[in-house]
Structure 1
Amino acid sequence: MATVVLDNGAGAAKVGYATDKEPRIVPNCVTKAKNVRTRIFIGDQIDDCKDLSGLYYLLPFQKGYLVNWDIERQVWDYIFGKDTLKVDFNETNLIVTEPYFNFNSVQEAMNEIFFEEYAFKSVLKSNPSFLSQYKYTKETNAPPLCSVVLDTGYSFSHVVPYLKGKKIPEAVKRVNVGGKVLTNHLKEVISYRQLMVMDETYVINQVKEDVCYVSSQFMEDMDIAKKKGKENTIARDYVLPDYTHIKRGYVRPPEETTGKAKDGEQIIRMNNERFAIPELLFHPSDVGVQEMGVAEALVYAISTLPEEMQPHMYKNIVLTGGNCLLPGFSDRFYADVRSMAPEDFDIKVKTPNNPITYAWEGGCMLANTEDYKKMAVAREQCEEHGHTICSENSTSDTSINIHVHIIHLM
């Protein structure tokens, strides 16, 4: 029986059949364009839009939680419909991710939509980190008893420890900084220093992805960024799209970085913004978010666990989420964790080839196993027992109380 895996992120939905080699990545939003008044663009239909300046976004997620069901239904209808997956709901299972600490009302609404409106044969709801640690555990030669997942995505960054495949809820930590905060702050900085771009979320997000990196030597890079001429090896010119001759913005190579626009071009000079924006992941207080950075949050989360568990956690750290694609992220994360962790602990950080699709790949691995049959809820079961059975079987709620059930790992 076919199984659809839907990693329903706030920024992008990663979706495909469990037999697919890679997912289709669909922006989880509905978009309106200034120059096309008669049409809305659902998900990746935005690729059909010829002028991407001044896009207006309708987002189903706000602050990490699903609040606009009308928009989400449009995206799901498009994903499951005849133009994309062509799902035969009565003969198809579903693995779908939901936010951490999801509200009961949202969970019940999801159950109703997937079972009653779409009528999937069976559904398994999960957090993305569960699927990531599942894949990591199954891929490792000697499967670890403990692992900790850093999931740094669009709305938030979460640190989620696992013991024997079960989440330890009291040790889960959230940092209220994700890719959306980085893009919004970059818009504000560029608008203040150079050019008004507050309406250009789509373009500035591309600028962030093309130019920004995580610095391992912040103050040294800041000193270099103060220099002028060729001594400044950090500054780059980013040529903005005009949607006539230039369809997508691009970075000029270092030897052509002059800070001057050629005929018909409009450029943004990216200097210390390149590394100062991603620095918010490690120091959120730079923009007034009085919280720990992602590395400090992981060390703190592990410190709350029993001592015999801690060295095993440090040896099995998994990085997932779109922010991990920033160049230098994993090296900086390792260095920061190494500086804060106890000296006698080994630290191993696993960065997947594609951190965005890693949870989806874990769902594909889970789809055709006995584990799926044990955890999934069939439509008939939901009709008979109601929402309670869905909550009991959801991996999002499958947790372990370490203070009651302590396991000696040494």
Structure 2
Amino acid sequence: MGKDSKVVVIDNGGGLLKVGLAGSPTPLRVFPNCILKPKSDKKSYTGDLSDEIKDISTITIRRPIEKGYVINWDATLELWTHIFNDILKIVPEQCCLLVTEPLFNLPSIQGSMDELAFGHFKFQKVLTAQAPALSMRHALADPTLAAAAASAEWVRARCGVVLDAGFSFVHAAPVYNGEVVEGGVRRINLGGKALTNYLKELVSFRAWNMMDEYLIIEDVKEKLCFVSQDIKGDLLEAKKAPHLNTVRREYVLPDGLKHTRGFVKEWSLEAVAAQLRRKRQEKGESKEEEQVLALANERFMVPEAIFHPSDIGIPQMGVAETIHAAVTACPPALHALMWPNVLCVGGCTMLPGFTERLYRELRPLVPEEYELTIRLADDPVAAAWKGGSELAASAEYDERATTLEEYRQRGNRAFRAGHRCSWDPSGGKKGGARPASGAYNSDASTAAGPPPGAATARAPSTLGPKTKAKKKKVKTALLSKGVAPGVSHLSGTSSPAHSGGSAGTANEAAAADPHQIKRIKVKFYSGQ
């Protein structure tokens, strides 16, 4: 790669795409990661061109990413082509690429991403990185933080916990030495998309039917929702009359004529009282009014699902318990390095009052001897992109990235080894993030192993009496043929727990008649 080659940085998020060039302090463009098709228009629009759509009601959304993983490669190809040709205006064959990938990305998706970057666009070099590690990298590079905490051990160890509350999931990812400790990651199957859908159901049941208006409700959520610090008090306030209610707000819906986009009405108790008096005076007159969506307790009950997912039928722990589970899954020596550095990123963390509520719920779970500090990233949405921009502009990028020639010679999986934290508390069972459920269950153990300190017990036998009798019959037949228990009946070799003279007898019997075991099994399965 030449020194003049540009490095394209893409944070391929489920909700938003962040794109730009390495070394830039901010991304060049941040826009929805989707393709929009208006009902009244034959043309499709990429997410950054949504302002050109006149009527956003009943719009069809095609997303390349669902539930955190890429599933629509045609949409991804269309969006990336638009990025390179129209936004960045670069030639991929003359550039390098750094792209984020989700935690526990599937090998098939990794292979398709490599084929897209190397096979289709033919980038000179490509590096994939996990978003939590990039977010922590950017946070630790903050000059203000480095000067204030230069003597802190967690800064030197590049250690902490990244709470990524994004579009599809909420992940609590421990970071050590700048890399994600995959065995300690915990996940809540809830994100910004689920909150928007929940708000759609609430307002559709009580007011207007908004089930097909995702973009409008997404805008309502971002502008009006907040995290309550006193649920009971806010619920009592929401019950008051409109002219006394400090929680109630109104959102003017777009009508496609006068208002092409929705907006929040200016609010004050005096303005609400004056509006009520005006309505009483104009009662009986035929006058066209604006379509207004009023929200009261919905403003804070929707974000409450992040802290208590069971309220909407998701049997998992809340965000505070999830962070605690992620830290306790790491070695005790790292706990003191992680609690002082809890970093919040993702769009959901931008809700007003999020960090204050999180600290209030997390502090009782943290031992008193540990300091707890929760910080909101300077730009929660673009934190991972900024970390990727810093990485792509450093010499470390050339060391970790893979060239097009290496990809052609060694395949698409060779260059991914060696860039993850090798320690895994689950005993090597890296099947995926353990769901943040309230209790340990067998499904979670399959993915990430038993929780630290959990006793493992053998499950009770579920075999019926007839099956047990048949197994006893086969065992008796094997013994009569000279095959001892513990011997591998297909190969004739003994297991480590059963070695000795019986193994030799078994080997001799298998050598004398290698088909005898097969005949016994045929009799067993045929019921003879």
Fold match, TM over 0.5? Answer: yes
Contact 1:238/1:267 (<8 A) preserved:
yes
CA shift for structure 1 position 307: 1.9
Cα distance in 2, alignment partners of residues 64 and 3 from structure 1: 25
Cα distance in 2, alignment partners of residues 324 and 292 from structure 1: 17
Does 2:48 match 1:44? yes
CA shift for structure 1 position 312: 1.3
CA shift for structure 1 position 250: 1.6
Give 1:69's aligned residue. 73
The structure 2 residue matched to 1:85, chosen from 88, 92, 96, is 88
Query: After superposition, where does 1:209-288 map in structure 2 within 5 Å?
Result: 209-255=222-268, 256-257=271-272, 263-288=288-313
Give 1:408's aligned residue. none
Cα distance in 1, alignment partners of residues 73 and 237 from structure 2: 48
The structure 2 residue matched to 1:98, chosen from 88, 101, 110, is 101
Query: After superposition, where does 1:3-402 map in structure 2 within 5 Å?
Result: 3-23=7-27, 24-36=29-41, 38-81=42-85, 83-139=86-142, 140-141=145-146, 142=150, 143-145=155-157, 146-255=159-268, 256-257=271-272, 263-392=288-417, 395=419, 398-401=420-423
Contact 1:160/1:167 (<8 A) preserved:
yes
Q: In structure 2, what residue type is equivalent to 1:156?
A: F
Q: In structure 1, what residue type is equivalent to 2:40?
A: N
Cα distance in 2, alignment partners of residues 340 and 252 from structure 1: 40
CA shift for structure 1 position 402: 5.7
Indicate the structure whose relative CO is greater, using CA pairs within 8 Å and at least 6 residues apart: 1
Deviates most, 259-268 or 306-315: 259-268
SS at match of 2:416: helix
Cα distance in 2, alignment partners of residues 297 and 391 from structure 1: 28
CA shift for structure 1 position 212: 0.4
Aligned CA distance change for structure 1 residues 254 and 144 (closer, same or farther; 3 Å): farther
Cα distance in 2, alignment partners of residues 257 and 202 from structure 1: 27
Cα distance in 2, alignment partners of residues 228 and 273 from structure 1: 16
Deviates most, 107-116 or 248-257: 248-257
| Percent of residue pairs identical | 38
Cα distance in 2, alignment partners of residues 370 and 257 from structure 1: 59
* 1:217-264 Cα distance to aligned partner (Å, 9 max, x none): 112111111122443210111111123222321222222346878843
CA shift for structure 1 position 128: 0.8
CA shift for structure 1 position 203: 0.4
* 1:337-357 Cα distance to aligned partner (Å, 9 max, x none): 112211221111121222001
> Unaligned regions of 5+ residues in structure 1, if any?
405-410
Contact 2:138/2:386 (<8 A) preserved:
yes
Cα distance in 1, alignment partners of residues 21 and 335 from structure 2: 37
Contact 2:363/2:372 (<8 A) preserved:
yes
Q: In structure 2, what residue type is equivalent to 1:77?
A: T
4+ runs deviating over 6 angstroms: 258-262
* 1:299-344 Cα distance to aligned partner (Å, 9 max, x none): 1111222222112101011111111111111111121111221122
Contact 2:182/2:424 (<8 A) preserved:
no
Aligned length: 399
TM-score, normalised to structure 1, is 0.94
Larger radius of gyration: 2
Cα distance in 1, alignment partners of residues 247 and 220 from structure 2: 15
Contact 2:242/2:248 (<8 A) preserved:
no
Contact 2:23/2:392 (<8 A) preserved:
no
* 1:55-104 Cα distance to aligned partner (Å, 9 max, x none): 111111121111111111111111111x2111221221111011111110
SS at match of 1:75: helix
Contact 2:225/2:300 (<8 A) preserved:
yes
TM-score, normalised to structure 2, is 0.73
Cα distance in 1, alignment partners of residues 238 and 13 from structure 2: 35
Deviates most, 167-176 or 12-21: 12-21
CA shift for structure 1 position 390: 2.7
Q: Provide the aligned C-alpha RMSD in A.
A: 1.7
Aligned CA distance change for structure 1 residues 231 and 345 (closer, same or farther; 3 Å): farther
CA shift for structure 1 position 120: 0.7
> Unaligned regions of 5+ residues in structure 2, if any?
280-286, 428-528
